[in-house]
Structure 1
Amino acid sequence: MIMRILGEGQYEIADVHLDELNELDAVLQSAAASGDEHAFALGLRALLDAVRALGTPLPADSLAPSDLILPDEDTSLREVEALLADEGLIPG
């Protein structure tokens, strides 16, 4: 799976790491659902750090499509909520 961190680049993630990333994502989703901005920021940082640590960076000139796009580390809970409002990240 190829994951893109906005403003940073793409990482190829082996399937064996998806369970670990899903656990971190569950923590992040819980923080978002509760509206806890601090916990959200910590959860997002932990998820992105894991993607960086477990993934293999792709060259900047790679044209591989991303399977998943993650916000950058400085993205706030409000910004993510705004992106997901109405039609989600992908309109249509």
Structure 2
Amino acid sequence: MIVRIMGEGQVEIGSAEIDVLNALDSELEAAIESGDEAVFRSKLHALLDKVREVGQTLPDDSLEPSELILPPADASIEEVREMLGDSGLIPG
């Protein structure tokens, strides 16, 4: 799966990593629902850090279509809330 982190670029994530990312996505959703800015920021950074850790960075000149777009690390709760789908940021 090709994932774009807005403002950073694209990474390729293996299907074996999706469950871990979904767990972090669920924690992020809960933080958004609680409205706690500190917890939200922590969970957003944890999700993005994990994507960077498990993903293989694609070259900047790569033109692969992104299957998933994640917000930048400095996104607000409201911005991320607007990006949420029925199953969070990461489907599955």
Q: Do the two structures share a fold, i.e. TM-score over 0.5? A: yes
**Structure of higher CA gyration radius:** 1
Report runs of 4+ in structure 1 exceeding 3 Å deviation. none
Distance in structure 2 (CA, Å) of the matches to 1:21 and 1:78: 21
Does residue 28 of structure 2 align to residue 28 of structure 1?
Answer: yes
Aligned to 1:16: 16
TM-score normalised over the length of structure 2: 0.85
How far is 1:80 from its partner? 2.4
Q: SS state of the match for residue 72, structure 1?
A: coil
Give aligned-pair identity as a percent: 54
Distance in structure 1 (CA, Å) of the matches to 2:60 and 2:53: 18
Alignment of 1:61-76 (within 5 A): 61-76=61-76
Number of residue equivalences: 84
Q: Partner letter of residue 45 of structure 1? A: H
How far is 1:36 from its partner? 1.4
Alignment of 1:44-63 (within 5 A): 44-63=44-63
Q: Which runs of 5+ in 2 are unaligned?
A: 84-92
